[in-house]
Structure 1
Amino acid sequence: MFSKWSWLLQAVCTLLSIYSFGVSDGYARSCGYITPESAVVSLESSFTAYCILSDYCLDYGNLRADKVIWRIQTKVVPKEHYSIINETVSRVTFNDTSILASPLTCNILVAGSIEQNIYGIQVALGFSPDKPENLSCIVHQLQTGRKKYSQTCTWEPGRYTFLDTNYTLKSRWPNEEFPDCLGANNSCTSTAVVFFVDLEVWVEAKNALGIVESDRIVFDPIKHVKPLPPSNLSLNSGELPRVLKLSWENLFHEAPLELRFQIRYKIIDSINWIQVPLEDTATQRDSFFIQDLRPNTKYVFQLRCVTSWGEHWSDWSKEVVGFTAEDKPTKGPDLWRKISPVHSPENWTLVLIWKELNPSEANGIILKYDVSILGKPPLHFQQQFYSLNTTQLTLNVENGTYEVRIKASNSVGESPASVLLIPATNSRAPVKNLTAFPKDGKLWVEWIAPKTDVNRYIIEWYEECDNLTCASEWQQESGTKNCTFLRGGIKPRKSYKISVYPLYSNGQGEERSIQAYLEEDAPAIGPTVRTAKVGKTDALIEWEPLSVEEQNGFIKYYNIIYRTATGNETVVFVDPSKTEYPLSSLSSDTLYMVQVAAYTKNGGKRGPAFTFTTKKFAEGEIEAIVVPVCLAILLFTLLGVLFCFNKRDSIKKHIWPNVPDPSKSVIAQWSPQTPSKHFHHSKDQIYPEGSFTDVSVVEIDKKSFSEQDPKPFDLLRKEKNASEGHSSGIGGSSCMSSPRQSVSDSDEGEPAQNTSSTVQYSTVVPNGYRDQIPSVQVFSRSESTQPLLDSEERSEDPPVLGSDNSTPRHRYFKQNCNNDDTVMDEPHLDGAKQISPINEEDAAGPQTLQMCSSGPDEHDVALAGAFHPSPKGLAAEFETMRTNAVTEDEVPKCYLPQTVKQGGYMPQ
């Protein structure tokens, strides 16, 4: 840094020489300078600098000290640090020298307010050296070379000075000075070492700000010797299994000085060293016997030494490794058992298990295990012996008490026997207040011992898992202990079931178990919820508990979170023993979302969301409405049935009036033979079986017709011959049937019979009755032989008399037929045999008697006169019938009018 500022200062001086205001004798001269030059400034004191202007520059440009400007590098020093001594001297003072930096320059304003540099200096900041402390010297024994020893003195130099500081080690005898030793900052080494003479030693520190010396020390170098460590170490085990002999070679030989030794050793894989007591190795030697070692164990040894007068131990020697000899095992193996019934509780599968001995207990390589098992009375189980090299033995035995002994053997001998008494039941006292908790990265188990003396404890544990394949581990502890940590591979976030068994000399105590975690965490997943029952305003939800692998800790509680699509969440806390919970005060017919979260002490996890919809009606609410309504309907129905039953005669009279039986009529005695069939086409059965038959009885008084208007009868006579060829006998029901000759061709031969005979025809009305008039009516000839009763004759109908005005003459009728010449089966004929009287409305209505004729001829007039004999109404009725008559294209062809002779028919 100083070299850089020196270059800058040189450049400034060059510029000043070039632009100097005065020139004398050909040399450029500066107008001033700064004192002191190249100052070294202590950071603990103030600093004052002077800028002195030259005399010959005073009159040039009117330059004076009051125009001087001080700068630190490029920064202007504040005016309060200035002071004017006279017109040629300007002074600047720094009480805080930490603000100083190089270069410090003196500048002046010239004409035109131009700042011109006059002079500059370098400033070095630092501290004066501190007094060196803790001066000490040590003499090292050298490994090789002509010089056997070297002396190294060290001290503490104090704080850093920021300046070049020299440290010089000075030494002398009482009457002789030794050359100075120029060392580093805090040490200095010299090879001029003389024993048995006191040497005075001190340190001098010097820099630009001052000189300081340390305290002086006086010592004999022989007392500060650090010898070399012993070499060529070796071990010899010999015949003793617990003793090793360590031998070495000493490298320090300065009579009359002797050496003291320190020995340490450890097992090869251990990190803890064991030291031999110093008083056992305080004399000069080159070997030592180490005792109380473990048999058949690998050890590491190291050795160091110090002079009898000295204070400085040598470094540790190189390591040497040795083995101790084998010895017989010190204890028997830890023994335990597993019992499971086979086929029946009276038989056991007994599995004996034991642990391998530790190297410190085995004292060698275990070659075999000798096992003996003896059954206790009342068992008749003789003692059996087994020799094997595994750590497990499986036996099938009876349920009972057994004594098991086991010994481990190596090449030297066998161990003491380990004894396990296997009782039929665990009838002894158990431990109390069993607890388990993590501590220092281990899972600790504590308990309170029973009052009875315990020989030892068996601690058994296994990792809980759902597949039931987790293997168990166990360990044995002394009967004097009441706590221990599990020495197996304990994993975090895994649940362990721990059991403790106290073992007595005469049996085994009952087990006590507990669950524990080495480290807990939040559950891996949340419970999956579903609904078990849903009502109108409530719901029962349930969930499966998390598996042991998913819990990661003890479940402290469950959270149930449910809400509607637009409502706020409701949170319920549930005990961890619960797996279902009823939700109440819900809204009916509403969609809800529900989740269940499981929490351990380290956090929780929500399960998947589940949605359900509450019912619109509560359970039994629909039944409460439907059942009364059904009962009411049933009650009204029963009341209606009872009412109809009580009024059956009246109802029958209005709905089912008494109808004479046409089959019992006297007309059956004189009617022609009825054909057995009607010949209609099968597909023209437009009036099925069961159609209701309305019988119309029309009596026509010939006299009345002849008196009023003889034309109807004349018309009938004229049509006689035409009708004979196309009429059929009584009972004929098909149109265009084969012609049938009447009984008599004359309507005048038998007037008495003609007037006394009554021909009845029925009208087949499908799906109609009485005043309900169907669209199509069918007339069928009745075969009844019973005459009409007088009561059935309507009084309003005028009598129709014969030619002698004594006996009513018969009558006219017409029979409707189908369009096609088809055959009607007998069922249709039978269905057309129901007869009922025709009332006046039926007889007079145009739809009741639908005429089927070849056209509007005189026959229509005759029929009109037959049904309306009144002279006044004859013409009107006739006209009406002709107006309402069906055309030839609409009505199928029927029989032509027939005249009833004796045993025959009247014209129709």
Structure 2
Amino acid sequence: MISTWVSVIVMLVVFVNGARNEDGIQPCAKVHTSSTVVPLGSPVSATCVIREDCPLVSGQALQIEWRLGERFIPSSPVANESSRVSQTVISSFNHTRAVLTCCIRASPPQVVAGVEIRAGYPPEAPQNLSCQTNLSIPNTLTCSWDPGQQETHLLTKYTLHTEIWDLSKNHTYELPPGVHRYVIPRTDFALFSEMKIYVKAVNGLGEVTSAPVVLEPVSAAKFDPPEIRKVEIVPKKYSCLRLSWNLSQHQVWMHSYRLNLEIQLKTADSSQWNEQPILVTRVRPVDQCRLLHGTQYFARIRVRYQKSPWSEWSSSRSGVTLESAPTGRLDSWMKVSRDHMPKQLNIHLFWKPSKQFRANSQNVSYVVSVQKLPGEKGKVCSTRGNYCTFQLPGRAKKVYLSAVNAAGRSPPTEIRIYQPKALAAVFDVTAVPQDDISFLVQWKRGAPSGLTGYVVEWKPLLATDNSHIQFETADKNQSGLIITGGFEPYKPYGISVYPRFKDGVGPPQTVNAYLRQKAPSMVPKLRFKKKWKSHSELTWDEIPLEQRNGIIQSYKIFYWDQKGPIHIVNADPEETKVTLKDLNTKSPYEAFMMVSTLGGSTNGSTIQFEYEPIDAVSVVMILTASGVAFSLLIIFLVGCSTIRQRLKVRFWPIVPDPANSSVKRWTSESTQDSHLSWDNEDPIYLSRLSFLDLPTKLSKEEDDLWLKSGEETSDLGESICGSPFIPGYCGSNSDSVPYATVIFSGPCSSPPPTEPHVYLRSESTQPLLEMEESFSPKCYQNMASDGVLREQCFFGSSHDCVPEEEAETVIRWDDFPFLQALEMNDTQND
């Protein structure tokens, strides 16, 4: 745009400064160059000649200057010429377009002449000329070409030329600048007449022609996609399908000409068409054979005339070949366990087609039987899936697997039942993505005897159905295997390696793997939990498996207070809590979590928490917990004491101590309440209970008899006192104690006696068991012959004794309710 304005200014200046004569306006000066279009980078020379009658220089000395655009360039006067002629040379013209001007030095300089110079490259010969005929309405012939890689920087014109030899017609078509494609109308060519086509390119530096193309327009026709009408079986041919097809509506008339046809096939369970299309020259109808029996195929076709371009592929249609009985064997994998019943085997059997297996049908089922011959007897499983679960007796050794369709049954595949073994032979299993569809599984081998191979099993962890389990076998010498099984990115898979032995299957080693990983889809919410002193605990829930998108590598907790720096704590990926230590109890905190996998990290939302000192509720809780703990300690100690006492009684039985027995203790609460005077008196010690059926009134002689008996008993005790055989009997520290005999006047059923009950004293020198503390009895009350109770002392005097008059007390039968409950025995003397 600037160069254009400069050219306009130069022309205006020359017009104004020109001289008028009879021929019109003449320029004041003129610039002569070798060419106004030059190759880019070539030298350019120019000469400026000023007219004698130029009004700008009349009567003045001249000084001529040169400008290239806005830049001055050196000049030199021409030898043997006047000062009105000047010359300049540009050694390398590096502008694609520039204005060269001749000026007279003045103030300001006066432009007297100028010329525009263009630079560029000559055109390249057009490449890749091709023409294609459209047989649809309207019929046309479209030709296109490539102008070349180098830019010419010059205006280049292209023309398309056609020569029809049979008709002696030539046509030339001029194209607008920058257009490299032209559509020849149907009137300028004949479908079945050969013609020559070429392209010519012209610019200021030269002219060039493309290589010519000789063709018959119909051979350059690209047909519309054909249509497959149907795909059907060929009678009595198990491996053949017949295709019927048509051209499009506007090209049906071409059926009578020799066309070429290509067919592509694929099975229903395949995602790829066969790489090498099938070329067919006999196009109606088309039979395709050597196909699998009973298999669904999809077919598509395309056509062309001789060597014309292929049409686009048609829409696909499907057909099924005739089915036959399945052939080949099945690859299997069995897992055996004894979970509940020791005499029963729980069996999980998986299978897949081997390379030799052919289902030969669309509807195939699989039968597992304990018998080799076909039949309902012995069948344990029948399914259309790829696995089966059943139970067998513990003595079962093998099963048979067969594929069945409407045409028959495959030969049975024998599968031995291997018991699980505890012998490990696989270590350090790893699974690394190999590409976008497979894993490289590697392991370290053990060296146990009897090893026959390995089984690599994998399944998606988000699917619980066993139908998704897949497996591959490996030789015993292998330590790695590439597995391919429709893996999806960002989904977890469990990959296990089992060792196989001659007589069993060893325990597996399992790893989780992802084909590709990315940042988790969510971050768990942090929860604050106060702990003791300046420590706090942050907890969170585990991320659901379907939202992890990879193996969790780390949990990072970022926390800070209003004044301090940001702190980072790394949590164990297996944990869901972390403890924050040394917190400032007077400042609120903020925190967030970052969860990372190998594919990226995700930050969670920020929470705020403030650590508060221990409040009253915390104190109450602490005291309550301490009280509970103390109570449990007391219960534990008491329990231990009770257990100790029971053990002591068990191994060291307690012998009754007569010195610690008391009739007083047998008295009921009501009796104790009515006789409070007994509470301060010493107990009576009993040697035995005698139940006598006494008469209502006891005679004087009988009284004396009892008294004598008592005296004799007393004398016996006194006689023993001081005996050399039992030393230490007498005295308050003696081991012997006084005994007493209780006499009842009648049985329990008799009416209460009117006489007071009688206590007879009995003194025994039976030594007592050794006790921790010695016991010294003091006094006891005895019945005199007159029926009056008198307190007596034995083994020496006692200051606790009182006169008999002061100790007179009437004892009643009601004072002893325990004794009332005892059965009365008949003890009358002969």
| Aligned match of 2:151 | 160
Mark the CA change 1:63 to 1:286 in structure 2 (over 3 Å): closer, same or farther.
farther
- Matched residues in 1 for 2:258 and 2:120: separation? 51
| Aligned match of 2:302 | 303
- Matched residues in 1 for 2:115 and 2:53: separation? 22
Q: Secondary structure of the equivalent of 1:400? A: coil
| Aligned match of 2:47 | 50
* 1:129 and 2:120 aligned: no
Mark the CA change 1:492 to 1:503 in structure 2 (over 3 Å): closer, same or farther.
farther
- Matched residues in 2 for 1:133 and 1:277: separation? 30
- Matched residues in 1 for 2:66 and 2:384: separation? 99
Higher relative contact order (CA 8 A, sep 6+): 1
Q: Secondary structure of the equivalent of 1:274? A: coil
| Aligned match of 1:274 | 274
| Aligned match of 2:457 | 460
* 1:39 and 2:36 aligned: yes
* 1:475 and 2:471 aligned: yes
Asked if the contact 2:29–2:48 (Cα under 8 Å) also holds between the matched residues in 1, the reply is yes
* 1:178 and 2:170 aligned: yes
| Aligned match of 1:142 | 135
Asked if the contact 1:230–1:317 (Cα under 8 Å) also holds between the matched residues in 2, the reply is yes
| Aligned match of 2:396 | 401
- Matched residues in 2 for 1:288 and 1:481: separation? 47
Deviation of residue 258 (structure 1)?
3.7
1:117 to 102, 111, 122: 111
1:422 to 417, 425, 432: 417
| Aligned match of 1:234 | 229
- Matched residues in 1 for 2:194 and 2:460: separation? 74
1:351-378, Cα deviation, whole Å (9 max, x unpaired): 4343687999655554754333479xxx
Q: Normalization by structure 1: what TM-score?
A: 0.47
Deviation of residue 107 (structure 1)?
2.0
| Aligned match of 1:209 | 205
Q: Secondary structure of the equivalent of 1:159? A: coil
- Matched residues in 1 for 2:328 and 2:159: separation? 68
Q: Normalization by structure 2: what TM-score?
A: 0.50
- Matched residues in 1 for 2:44 and 2:332: separation? 89
Structure showing the higher strand proportion among its residues: 2
- Matched residues in 1 for 2:506 and 2:468: separation? 18
Q: Secondary structure of the equivalent of 2:94? A: helix
Mark the CA change 1:552 to 1:388 in structure 2 (over 3 Å): closer, same or farther.
closer
Asked if the contact 2:232–2:242 (Cα under 8 Å) also holds between the matched residues in 1, the reply is yes
Asked if the contact 1:167–1:182 (Cα under 8 Å) also holds between the matched residues in 2, the reply is yes
1:375-432, Cα deviation, whole Å (9 max, x unpaired): 9xxxxxx9464446676665555533342334444444444434432244559x9988
* Paired residue total: 564
1:530-551, Cα deviation, whole Å (9 max, x unpaired): xxxxxxxxxxxxxxxx999999
> What letter corresponds to residue 76 of structure 1 in structure 2?
F
Deviation of residue 137 (structure 1)?
5.7
| Aligned match of 1:72 | 68
Q: Which residues in structure 2 correspond to 1:740-751 (within 5 Å)?
A: none
Q: Which residues in structure 2 correspond to 1:553-572 (within 5 Å)?
A: none
Q: Secondary structure of the equivalent of 1:318? A: coil
> What letter corresponds to residue 274 of structure 1 in structure 2?
N
- Matched residues in 2 for 1:352 and 1:494: separation? 23
> What letter corresponds to residue 291 of structure 2 in structure 1?
D
> What letter corresponds to residue 471 of structure 2 in structure 1?
Q
Q: Which residues in structure 2 correspond to 1:817-856 (within 5 Å)?
A: none
1:243 to 227, 240, 243: 240
Asked if the contact 1:421–1:508 (Cα under 8 Å) also holds between the matched residues in 2, the reply is no
- Matched residues in 2 for 1:491 and 1:189: separation? 49
> What letter corresponds to residue 65 of structure 2 in structure 1?
I
Deviation of residue 96 (structure 1)?
1.3
- Matched residues in 1 for 2:175 and 2:300: separation? 38
| Aligned match of 1:499 | 497
Asked if the contact 1:432–1:449 (Cα under 8 Å) also holds between the matched residues in 2, the reply is yes
Asked if the contact 2:455–2:474 (Cα under 8 Å) also holds between the matched residues in 1, the reply is no
> What letter corresponds to residue 160 of structure 1 in structure 2?
E
* 1:292 and 2:287 aligned: no
Mark the CA change 1:443 to 1:173 in structure 2 (over 3 Å): closer, same or farther.
closer
- Matched residues in 1 for 2:516 and 2:275: separation? 42
* 1:89 and 2:85 aligned: yes
* 1:315 and 2:311 aligned: yes
Asked if the contact 2:40–2:95 (Cα under 8 Å) also holds between the matched residues in 1, the reply is no
> What letter corresponds to residue 272 of structure 1 in structure 2?
Q
Mark the CA change 1:132 to 1:515 in structure 2 (over 3 Å): closer, same or farther.
closer
- Matched residues in 2 for 1:520 and 1:213: separation? 55
Mark the CA change 1:179 to 1:454 in structure 2 (over 3 Å): closer, same or farther.
farther
> What letter corresponds to residue 105 of structure 1 in structure 2?
T
Mark the CA change 1:490 to 1:332 in structure 2 (over 3 Å): closer, same or farther.
farther
Asked if the contact 2:159–2:172 (Cα under 8 Å) also holds between the matched residues in 1, the reply is yes
- Matched residues in 1 for 2:339 and 2:426: separation? 32
Please, what is the CA RMSD of the aligned residues?
Answer: 6.8
| Aligned match of 1:10 | 8
Asked if the contact 2:32–2:48 (Cα under 8 Å) also holds between the matched residues in 1, the reply is yes
| Aligned match of 2:432 | 438
* 1:324 and 2:320 aligned: yes
Specify the structure having the higher radius of gyration (Cα): 1
Deviation of residue 90 (structure 1)?
1.8
Asked if the contact 1:263–1:275 (Cα under 8 Å) also holds between the matched residues in 2, the reply is no
Q: What are the ranges of 5 or more consecutive residues in structure 2 without an aligned counterpart?
A: 524-541, 554-595, 602-830
Asked if the contact 2:453–2:476 (Cα under 8 Å) also holds between the matched residues in 1, the reply is yes
- Matched residues in 2 for 1:551 and 1:226: separation? 52
Deviation of residue 32 (structure 1)?
2.0
| Aligned match of 1:754 | none
1:654-685, Cα deviation, whole Å (9 max, x unpaired): xxxxxxxxxxxxxxxxxxxxxxxxxxxxxxxx
- Matched residues in 2 for 1:373 and 1:383: separation? 5
